[in-house]
Structure 1
Amino acid sequence: MNKRFASPLFAGFLAAGLLLSSVHAQDKQPIDRIAAVVDEDVILKTELDRAVANILSQYAGRSEQLPPRDVLERQVLERLILLKIQVAQAQGTGVRVTDQEVDQAIGSIAQSNKLSIDQLRQQLARDGSSYTDFRTSIRDELLVQRLRQRFAQTRVSVSDAEIDAALKAQANTGTQYHLAHILIALPEGATPEQIATAQKKVDGVKTLIAKGEMDFNAAAVRYSDSPNALEGGDLGWRSLDEIPAAFGEMMKSMKAGEVTDPIRGPSGFQLLKLVEVRDASQSGPQMVTQYHARHVLVRINDTTTEAQAKAKAETLRARIAGGAKFEDVVKESSEDLGTQGKGGDLGWFTQDEFGPEFGGAVAALADNEVSQPIHTTAGYHIVQRLGTRQSDVADQSKRAQVQETIGRRKLEEEWNRFLREKRGEAYVDFRVGKAADASQPGTETTVPAKPAGG
């Protein structure tokens, strides 16, 4: 796998191969084909080729696990189509990402790889990628993240009753299951013939795995229709409350390494593999240090640059040092509307609750001490630490964890359903591959390739 730029943000679009490439040929501007039309946008053939090349580099030495080239191109093209749909949906519903936020994300990627921004530019150029396209990819990734967050806030809720029920079910077990899956998808309103074809395919895949002719990960890469197919179908670690009840009962009776028989679900037929099992139960008190603090926030946005925000925060800090009441400065100047009416009071929190920069700065203060400006992704903060305490958060932590896992499961189900709906509604015109051959035999559309730059 290409790990040149290792960061959680970058890994998302690197795995999907979303870096674009530009090719130069002496004095002639090259011609770039259209791979697919997606509503009012297009995916260029160079985008698809670059994405496929990234996948091939990840599987260097293991290329036999990959499907045939035409199938791989279809899988990657579908990922690119979904990305276009999500970005368009985000923009159409008012989701915005500022230039400063893109700069901060790129700065984090460069820093995590021990590079300056100039060095990052140079590395991209050596890899044949333009910095402008790199920024676009980062912006798209941030837009999709924001869209998903907004979706979660409006579509996903977890009640106290659900948390209580999950805690009761977990009372005698802390078992977690590492799962992987293969999905043979069915369209909405599938015909009997489509269902029969999918059933035959999933049975054939199960037979290959059962006979040892192909391991599960390789079968997922080659045959699964799931978005995580190219990751071997890996679903990660899940507790019982993160697994649909019908599947959870199966997991209890399975051993590590076993694969279920085909299961019919809302998306199609699935094969589930139990990779590993572990005991994640916690007993006894869970003592942590908590801090009580209040803050003034100066945000960085389209109208306030980082330098301006820092200068304003330094002025506010000087006012407090000169005798101004902290709560008065909060009321007049803080841009955190959630705490402004409470004098900036953040309540009790753990060091990692508001991010490493904020938490580290608070931990370094003495009680009643006022900090210098603290830079975080939200902007610049002036913080006064009011006190510390040791607290047993075992019950609180467990409840919060259960709420998060239930919410994550619900979000995954709702988000996948949402993406299927949007994919079904989108106008998609394939210009390469078998789908294009079937609908437009002998045709080929070209457009001028974008020049490298940035």
Structure 2
Amino acid sequence: MTKTLPVLLAATLALSTATATALAQEAAQLQPLDRIAAIVDEDVILQSELDDQIRAIRTQYADRLDQLPPQAVLERQVLERLVLTKLQLARANGSGMRIGDEELNYTLNAIAQNNGTTLEGLTQRLAADGLTLAAFRQNLREELTIQRLRQNFAQSRIVVSEGEVDAALAQANLNTIQYNLANILVAVPEGATAEQLATAQTKIDGVKALIDKGEMDFNAAAVRYSDGPNALEGGDLGWRTMDEIPNGFTQLLEQMQPGQVVGPIRGPSGFQLLKLVNQRDTSAAGAQTVTEVQARHILVRINAAQDDATARAKAQAISARLAAGADFAEVAKETSEDTNTRNQGGDLGWFAADAFGPQFGQQVTSLTDGGISAPFRTDAGWHIVQRMASRQTNAADENRRAQVRETIGRRKLEEEYNRFLQEMRGEAFVDFRSGDRAASTAN
């Protein structure tokens, strides 16, 4: 178990995230003679799925429909998103990743709690949006499956060295300034011809001219013209530190003022326009005192070979041994499936209570020193934790290292996962049956 911030879906997923796409399952059930919008390897995208996705977006932009691209362009953008969704689900299923009913129920209850309601209340809110709980569950299962694929990708391919952390910390000013960014991407294929590059250059120059002349604001231009995955969000990239920004943009940002747009910038994916929406200084005044705990744990993972119910039963059996007086460290060496801590008797060292996520943090803080928890579940699996000691400490330096390590990891993950998606897309058989590419050759 590493001290990187896990990508948690259950505790933070907004209700609207899943409702936007769950309409597709409803429509598929109501339209037995549905047309096929695209063939994606051995799967299909139904026209109803595409139509409901577009309808959800148009509802989202109800008060600013003029910002949306023409119908044909919007359909192409949404269809590409659905293609990538199908490809990710196929890759996850092929790797044995499954979201069981127990895990799904656990997440549904967490979503209901986060939205200040019960499961019954959540069902009523879905019904008010014209959705059933069954459709919402199916869509949520798919989102969790893709989330697990992304997490496994990060664990297997993303490594942040201490040298990288040291180098980032050496530039102290870069660790306190955050930048709110947006971008517009005109993509070019790998190995693009001179003609393709020229066409892309002409397009991005034209978009920049519209923005410079005030004929269209940046967000509207992103929705209408960008090929980026964040196009329908107006190109929004959110708040980022320098550690989360590709090196090619860092020098530009240091010279930019909020509201300024630069580019076109030639990158590996194509031509980009970059906008600095705003910036802020997040440096804290004075020392930061936090409560740290020293603990050890036993982990029983949930994976293709061990479903949730099996993992839970195994954790309960281990808990019974500990209750009977077995030594925690010895049992951890024997049974824990966390390869990073097993040989140390499950020792996690000293850490801030929330370092391993909210569920883990709640269990640790509820214990007294020496106490052992009952089995509990996180995204990693089923845990049993023993709190050994606690202390108050000025953790500013260590917290900064952890934050920098996490932000570098997120930046690397974004770059590598986008490349991974492009590779899957390039290798896939995709035959469009709808829209302005319906007559094109399968790719």
TM range (shorter): 0.7 to 0.9
Q: Distance in 1 between matches of 2:155 and 2:312?
A: 32
Q: CA deviation at 1:121?
A: 4.2
Change (3 A) 1:364 1:172: closer
Tell me, yes or no, if the aligned pair for 1:22 and 1:130 is still in contact at 8 Å.
no
Q: Is the 8 A contact 1:368 1:384 kept in 2?
A: yes
- Mapping 1:18-33, distance limit 5 Å: 19-22=24-27, 30-33=32-35
Instruction: List aligned pairs for 1:80-229, cutoff 5 A.
Output: 80-125=82-127, 127-170=129-172, 174-229=176-231
1:402 aligned partner: 404
Answering whether residue 252 of structure 2 is matched by residue 250 of structure 1, we say yes
- 2:234 alignment partner in structure 1: 232
Q: Distance in 1 between matches of 2:177 and 2:79?
A: 38
AA paired with 1:175?
A: I
Structure label with greater radius of gyration: 1
Q: Is the 8 A contact 1:39 1:426 kept in 2?
A: yes
Q: 2:28·2:46 contact (CA, 8 Å) conserved in 1?
A: no
Which structure 2 residues correspond to residues 38-49 of structure 1 after superposition, within 5 A?
Answer: 38-49=40-51
1:8 aligned to which of 8, 13, 30: 13
Output one character per residue of 1:112-143: Cα deviation in whole Å (capped at 9) or x when no partner: 23444344445445544454443332222122
Which range is displaced more, 226-235 or 355-364?
355-364
TM-score, with length taken from structure 2: 0.86
Question: Residues 355-366 of structure 1 correspond to what in structure 2 (within 5 A)?
Answer: 355-366=357-368
Tell me which residue corresponds to 1:304: 309
CA distance in 1, matches of 2:164, 2:379: 33
Partner of 2:37: 35
Deviation at 1:182, TM superposition (A): 0.3
Greater CA drift, 201-210 or 165-174: 165-174
Look up the SS of the partner of 2:147 in the other structure.
helix
TM-score (norm 1): 0.84
Which amino acid is the alignment partner of residue 248 of structure 2? A
Alpha-carbon displacement from aligned partner over 1:255-300 (angstroms, at most 9, x marks no partner): 1101013111111111000111212234643321111233455677
Q: CA deviation at 1:161?
A: 2.4
- Contact kept? 2:18, 2:136, Cα under 8 Å: no
| Mapped partners of 1:311, 1:163: distance in 2 | 39
Q: Is the 8 A contact 2:12 2:114 kept in 1?
A: yes
Distance, in Å, in 1 between the alignment partners of 2:397 and 2:264 is 38
1:132-159 Cα shifts (integer Å, max 9, x gaps): 4433322221221122222222322222
1:272 aligns to 2:277 (yes or no): no
Please report how far the alpha carbon of residue 336 of structure 1 lies from its aligned counterpart in structure 2 after TM superposition.
Answer: 5.3
- 3-state SS, counterpart of residue 304 of structure 1: helix
For residues 376 and 24 of structure 1, the distance between their equivalents in structure 2, rounded to whole angstroms, comes to: 33
Letter in 2 for 1:302: D
Q: Does 1:289 align with 2:291?
A: yes
Tell me if the contact between 1:16 and 1:79 (Cα under 8 Å) persists in the aligned partners.
Answer: no
CA gap 1:284/1:305 in 2 versus in 1, 3 angstroms? same
Tell me, yes or no, if the aligned pair for 1:287 and 1:393 is still in contact at 8 Å: yes
Matched ranges for 1:411-450 at <5 A: 411-437=413-439
Structure 1 runs of 4+ aligned residues shifted over 6 Å read none
| CA deviation map 1:186-230 (0-9, x unaligned) | 112222222222111111111111111111111101110000001
* Deviates most, 299-308 or 355-364: 299-308
Deviation at 1:347, TM superposition (A): 2.4
> Who is 1:446 aligned against?
none
Measure the CA separation in 2 of the matches of 1:402 and 1:6: 23
User: 2: CA distance between counterparts of 1:133 and 1:370?
Assistant: 39
CA distance 1:53–1:424, change in 2 (3 Å): same
Residue type matched to 1:391 in 2? T
Gap regions ≥5 residues in structure 2: 1-9
- Partner-residue secondary structure (3-state), 1:21: helix
Taking a change above 3 Å as real, the CA distance of residues 222 and 431 of structure 1, as seen in their structure-2 partners, is same
Paired residues in the alignment total: 430
Determine the C-alpha separation between the residues in 2 that align with 1:296 and 1:184: 48
Give the partner amino acid of 2:49.
E
Asked whether the equivalents of residues 176 and 282 of structure 2 are also in contact (C-alpha less than 8 Å), the reply is yes
Please tell me the residue identity of whatever aligns with 2:60: Q
